[in-house]
Amino acid sequence: MEPVKKIRVLIADDHNVVLTGLRFLINAEPDMQVVGEAGDGDQALRLARKLMPDILLLDISMPFCNGFTVVQRIIAEMPSIKVIILSMHEEREYVEKALKAGASGYIIKRAADNDLIEAIRVVNAGGVFIHPAVARTLIEALQKGTKAGGAHEGVHLTRKGNNLTQREIEVLRLVALGHTNQEIAEMLSLSVKTVETHKMNMTRKLNCNSRAELVRYALQQGLIPRE
């Protein structure tokens, strides 16, 4: 029997207690392995370049180079590395900024034990994971903006004349909910190649250059139901 290919995780947080807890939690999973730990933003970048992990689990508030800057540089230099933000901040502004920077996941620290492992698996498989509590915050802000006659600056992402087909809308909603291409194909009785084609067409029509932007657009359009 071939050994299980483990998801290689680099964790970055400036609190040693948090690092120790995260290492214990992740290494307890048979398909995951912590390959490095960083205590500040600069170290996170250096280790990412050296170790090339599958996932970077990153705190936003760190010394020397803040988390948002780290995400942007990781995405620009090493796009194969997927970033999950782990933060104490639940405010909409932080979530929006993380997604705009290119993060594929956002977990709040108070719920990390319950959701972190799921988030790592979802993001590693190509999905997006946003903790339900902060997803609701985004949706509520968007709904309030719509009632007021327009979304808040930084949230409004409507593209006029996007001409998405009904099937593309269905695929977009499932992408925003964090499903992988294989899962979407099974749910819609399509081939994986067809799902990939729909995603490519959506990206072109909406002028979205990342999965995170697709999620933000789906949130703005109300395609993700209130939990």
Rounded mean pLDDT, 187-212: 81
Q: What pLDDT, on a 0 to 100 scale, did the predictor assign at position 34?
A: 97
Rounded mean pLDDT, 129-144: 66
Topology of domain 150-220, CATH: Arc Repressor Mutant, subunit A (1.10.10)
Model confidence at 148: pLDDT above 70: no
**Higher-pLDDT residue of 219, 194:** 194
Place of tokens 């593209």: 159
**Higher-pLDDT residue of 82, 136:** 82
Q: How far apart are CA 11 and CA 36, in angstroms?
A: 6
CATH 3.40.1160.10 applies to domain 7-134: no
Through-space distance between the first and last CA atoms of the chain, rounded to whole angstroms: 41
Q: What pLDDT, on a 0 to 100 scale, did the predictor assign at position 219?
A: 73
Q: How far apart are CA 215 and CA 141, in angstroms?
A: 15
Q: What pLDDT, on a 0 to 100 scale, did the predictor assign at position 159?
A: 41
Model confidence at 208: pLDDT above 70: yes
**Higher-pLDDT residue of 82, 66:** 82
Domain ranges of the chain: 7-134, 150-220
Model confidence at 143: pLDDT above 80: no
Q: How far apart are CA 127 and CA 177, in angstroms?
A: 8
Quote the distance between the C-alpha of residue 223 and its chain's center. Answer: 17
What Cα–Cα distance (Å) separates residue 181 from each residue in 16, 128, 196, 206, 218? Answer: 37, 12, 7, 19, 17
Mean confidence (pLDDT) of the chain: 79
